[in-house]
C-alpha cells in the first residue's frame, strides 16, 4: 500500500512539474531573448536552451503519466 501511494505521489509531482515548465515556457523565451539582446547569450545558445526546456517539460509529463498508468495497473492486480 505504501509503495503504490509513494509511486502515485512521485508520478503526480513529475506530471505537475512538466506542466509547470510548459506553462512558463513563454517566460523562458522572453528571458532568453533579453539575454541575447544584452549579449550574454548567442543565438545558438538561446535555441539550444529553449529546445532543452521544451524537451524537459514533455519528458516530465510523459514520465509522470506513464508512472501513473503503471501504478494504477499494479493496483488493479492486487
Average pLDDT over residues 33-60: 90
For the cut 90, the answer to whether the pLDDT of residue 4 exceeds it is no
pLDDT at 52: 92
Q: Write the CB contacts of 43 (distance below 8 Å, at least 6 apart in sequence).
A: 36
Average pLDDT over residues 43-67: 92
Pick 8 or 78 by higher pLDDT.
Answer: 8
Pick 43 or 69 by higher pLDDT.
Answer: 69
For residues 37 and 73, is the Cβ–Cβ distance under 8 A?
Answer: no
Question: Confidence class of residue 20 from pLDDT cuts 50, 70 and 90?
Answer: very high
Cβ density class 28-58: b for 16+ within 10 Å, e for less: beeebeeeeeeeebeeeebeebbeebeeebe
Q: Helix or strand or coil: residue 41?
A: coil
Give the total residue count for the chain.
78
Amino acid at each position: 500500500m505504501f509503495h503504490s501511494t509513494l509511486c502515485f505521489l512521485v508520478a503526480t509531482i513529475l506530471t505537475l512539474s512538466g506542466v509547470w515548465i510548459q506553462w512558463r515556457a513563454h517566460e523562458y523565451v522572453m528571458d532568453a531573448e533579453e539575454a541575447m539582446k544584452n549579449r550574454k547569450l548567442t543565438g545558438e545558445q538561446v535555441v539550444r536552451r529553449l529546445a532543452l526546456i521544451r524537451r524537459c517539460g514533455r519528458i516530465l509529463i510523459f514520465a509522470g503519466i506513464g508512472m501513473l498508468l503503471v501504478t494504477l495497473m499494479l493496483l488493479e492486480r492486487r
